[in-house]
Amino acid sequence: MAVRGVRGATTVPANDADAILTATENLLTAMVAANDIDVVDLAAAHFTTTNDLDAAFPAKAARQLGWRYVPLLDAWEIPVPGSLSRCVRVLLLWNTDRTQQEIVHVYQREAERLRPDLSQ
């Protein structure tokens, strides 16, 4: 078994706690469903936001989904000029037998343009 990274990203319409948490919950739910992830197999989850989102910690959405024992970390993205705004990114570290090529990465809303080759 290996630890694999599962990437995802979404955008949020406004710097509002409910909007951030709802978008993050939707993203996490999609990532778990697309890969048939059992949450007990997650080693950790790392969340980042662009610096225009500070109304809520995206990791709170994972706790609201019942991810009680998964180590979670929030951080800010590097503010690169011209980069996508109001964006939440997620990296799940998952213990799995799947190969890297079998991992389904999920990009929603405006974040689809970050990785059009991987967007669903």
Domain boundaries, the chain: 2-114
List Cα–Cα distances, 80 to 17, 25, 76, 97, in angstroms.
Answer: 24, 26, 12, 35
Residue-wise pLDDT for 14-51, tens only, equals: 999 999 999 999 999 999 999 999 999 999 999 999 99
Q: With a threshold of 0.85, does the pTM exceed it?
A: yes
Evaluate whether 36 touches 117 at the Cβ level (below 8 Å): no
Distant-in-sequence, close-in-space partners of 13: CB < 8 Å, separation ≥ 6: 19, 86
> What 3-state DSSP class applies to 51?
coil
Evaluate whether 30 touches 111 at the Cβ level (below 8 Å): no
Fold that domain 2-114 belongs to in CATH:
60s Ribosomal Protein L30; Chain: A; (3.30.1330)
